[in-house]
């Protein structure tokens, strides 16, 4: 390429007006052996650009499937937890109801027993009333014996 | 997404991520660690990858933000001291080699540029992205990219001419 063209390109390059293909031309010019003497100072610039593009990332990337797997298991873990919770609430409710019913039955049985015992007690009372007459008799008998 | 599928997407541009990271962080080890971390982050987001219309630009932006954060935290902590010590040794050693290696002068000059200009120059002159891509990656306006690029190139030229006149180049 003619020298004046390169000079013009360089000027525009420093103004930031060159296109990518023009910049490619500049790199090509400076990478070939013959560079005009007054432009030699720019040669290191363009050769540096070309060489530093060669640098490679050599470290490996420790990718693991764990990542996606763990999010998967978290999802299902939460589903399981909610299911257990709902089941707990459901069965807990019915258990509570059953207990309530049992309590009512027990109370009913208690009341009935109490009634029966009351009845029994009343009849006993009637018995003791009759026994009271007997006492009267014993007292009278004692009086008679004591006089003798 | 399967590993192989992910690697197929990432492999074409992982070197570019690494080079940008190295441009900003300077040290090779740090740049490698950073690149590794970014790729892992990308992998953890791989399910959403289909929704990004340009994975490469997205990864570049991630790299940029990650490295700038690193630099900021390095500046805040005493890590900077350690690093500057390390650089001191390195540069004195480098100077000896550089006396006859003008190409690495360019690297040295680029190290002295502000971060934004470094990135623009890296993406344009080394990776050969067009202005729209660069402005997407760096989250800048295209005109701002052009201005930063021109400034960076002119600074490099100035310093290069200085060296040249000293007779080192």
Residue A111 belongs to some domain of the structure: no
B62 vs chain A: nearest CA distance in angstroms?
17
Nearest-angstrom CA–CA distance, B24 and B31: 8
Per-block mean pLDDT, blocks of 10 residues, chain B (169 long): 85 93 91 93 82 86 94 71 48 50 81 93 93 94 94 92 70
The average confidence (pLDDT) of chain A is 87
Residue A33 belongs to some domain of the structure: yes
Q: A47: nearest CA in chain B?
A: B103
Do residues B103 and B48 touch, judged by C-beta distance below 8 A? no
Q: Which two tokens stand for residue B23?
A: 């441009």
Among candidate residues B71, B67, B58, the one with its CA nearest the CA of residue B139? B58
Neighbours of B149 (CB within 10 A): 24
Residue A97 belongs to some domain of the structure: no
Residue A19 belongs to some domain of the structure: yes
Per-domain residue ranges for chain B?
A: 1-77, 100-169
Chain B positions touching chain A (beta carbons under 8 Å): 1, 3, 6-7, 10, 14-15, 17-19, 22, 32-33, 35-36, 39-40, 43-44, 47, 102-107, 124-128, 130, 146-147, 149-150, 153-154, 156-157, 160-161, 164, 169
Residue A11 belongs to some domain of the structure: yes
Residue A8 belongs to some domain of the structure: yes
| Placement of tokens 């470094």 in the chain | B118
Among candidate residues B68, B35, B46, B62, the one with its CA nearest the CA of residue B136? B62
Top CATH class, B1-77: mainly alpha
Nearest-angstrom CA–CA distance, B124 and B146: 10
Do residues B121 and B110 touch, judged by C-beta distance below 8 A? yes
Number of domains, chain A:
1
| Placement of tokens 């933000």 in the chain | B65
Answer yes or no: is pLDDT of A68 > 80: no
Interface probe with A: pick from B7, B22, B103, most Cβ of A within 10 Å: B103
pLDDT tens-digit readout, A23-46: 999 999 988 878 888 888 888 889
Among candidate residues A57, A56, A27, the one with its CA nearest the CA of residue A44? A27
Residue B85 pLDDT: 46
Residue A65 pLDDT: 58
Top CATH class, B100-169: mainly alpha
Residue B88 pLDDT: 47
Do residues B168 and B105 touch, judged by C-beta distance below 8 A? yes
Residue A120 belongs to some domain of the structure: no
Neighbours of B128 (CB within 10 A): 15
Range of the domain at A41: 3-52
Confidence of residue A71 (pLDDT cuts 50, 70, 90): low
Q: Alpha helices, DSSP H only, in chain B?
A: 3-25, 28-44, 55-76, 79-98, 102-111, 115-121, 131-138, 142-166
Percent over 70 (pLDDT), chain A: 93
């Amino acid at each position: 390429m003619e020298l004046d063209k390169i000079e013009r390109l360089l000027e525009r390059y420093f103004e930031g007006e060159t296109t990518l293909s023009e910049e490619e031309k500049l790199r090509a010019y400076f990478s070939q052996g013959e560079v005009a003497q007054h432009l030699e100072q720019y040669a290191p610039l363009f050769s540096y650009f070309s060489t530093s593009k060669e640098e490679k990332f050599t470290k490996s990337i420790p990718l693991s499937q764990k990542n996606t797997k763990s999010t998967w298991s978290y999802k299902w873990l939460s589903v399981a937890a909610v299911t257990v919770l709902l089941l707990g609430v459901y069965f807990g409710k019915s258990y509570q109801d059953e207990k309530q019913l049992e309590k009512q039955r027990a109370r009913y049985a208690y009341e009935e027993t109490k009634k029966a015992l009351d009845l029994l007690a009343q009849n006993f009372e009637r018995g003791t009333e009759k026994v009271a007459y007997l006492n009267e008799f014993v007292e009278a008998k004692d009086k008679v014996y004591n006089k003798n | 997404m399967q590993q192989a599928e992910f690697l197929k997407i990432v492999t074409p541009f992982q070197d570019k991520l690494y080079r940008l990271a190295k441009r900003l962080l300077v040290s090779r080890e740090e740049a490698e660690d950073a690149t590794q971390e970014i790729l892992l982050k990308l992998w953890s987001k791989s399910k959403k990858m289909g929704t990004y219309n340009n994975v490469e630009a997205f990864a570049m932006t991630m790299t940029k933000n990650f490295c700038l954060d690193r630099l900021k935290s390095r500046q805040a902590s005493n890590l900077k001291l350690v690093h500057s010590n390390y650089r001191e040794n390195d540069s004195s050693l480098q100077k000896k080699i550089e006396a006859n290696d003008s190409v690495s002068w360019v690297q040295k000059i680029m190290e002295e540029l502000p971060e934004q200009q470094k990135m623009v120059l890296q993406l344009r002159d080394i990776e050969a992205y067009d202005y729209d891509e660069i402005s997407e990656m760096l989250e800048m306006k295209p005109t701002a990219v052009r201005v930063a690029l021109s400034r960076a190139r002119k600074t490099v030229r100035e310093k290069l001419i200085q060296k040249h006149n000293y007779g080192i180049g």
